[in-house]
Structure 1
Amino acid sequence: MTDWSWEYNPSEEHVADGLPLGVIAEVERLATEIAALGYDATKIGRPIDRAGGLREFDILGGRGFINFLAVPRHQCIYVCNITWYG
């Protein structure tokens, strides 16, 4: 287990407003699991050819995706955007 955490950036209202509760719950579950990876979170998702930067990760079997930043200096995952095709 790591000391990493996660949060919405800039805010939950901005990122998750209007999404179904099940989608928000899944995003929060995934963010918790990604944070548990610690520094390795900089390497998961897309793009697959490099580490760092804005990452993209599919949710709910490809029915949407999240964009997040893994910032080692802050030991935090920042969920920046949720795209839901619903």
Structure 2
Amino acid sequence: MSWGWEYHPDEETRVGGMPPVFVALVEEKAAELVRAAEAKYLDGTLYEGFSEPGTVFVGGGMFDYLIIQRHERVYIMQVTPPL
């Protein structure tokens, strides 16, 4: 398995109808989080600690994410678009 990111539960639920420019910024930041997690957890499948939640502010909006090391995934849990 290799590191990646995905919307939870799916893309339409999280970013459906949001401005494409904002969605692109969210996805760019998600890719950065994946690279950071991949460097921090060299073999996430062996990790036995707690999952790592966080919030990222981007493009006037924000998103919440959860890193599940054993899945080697960054899950985008909530996206709040700019006002």
Task: Identify the residue that residue 7 of structure 1 maps to in structure 2.
Answer: 6
Structure 2 gaps, min length 5 = 42-49
Bigger Rg, which one: 2
Structure 1 gaps, min length 5 = 42-50
Task: Identify the residue that residue 33 of structure 1 maps to in structure 2.
Answer: 32
Greater helix percent: which structure?
Answer: 2
Distance 1:67 1:20 in 2: 18
Q: Percentage identity across aligned positions?
A: 27
Superposition TM-score, scaled by structure 1 size: 0.75
Q: CA RMSD in A?
A: 1.9
Superposition TM-score, scaled by structure 2 size: 0.77
| Candidates 58, 77, 80, aligned match of 1:80 | 77
- Mapped pair 1:64 → 2:61: yes
Deviations, residues 23-48 of structure 1 (Å, cap 9, x unaligned): 1111111101110112649xxxxxxx
**Where do 4+ consecutive residues of structure 1 move more than 6 Å?**
none
Distance 1:16 1:59 in 2: 14
Question: Equivalent residue of 1:13, what SS?
Answer: helix
Q: Quickly say closer, same or farther: Cα 1:36–1:53, change in 2 above 3 A.
A: closer
Distance 1:17 1:66 in 2: 14
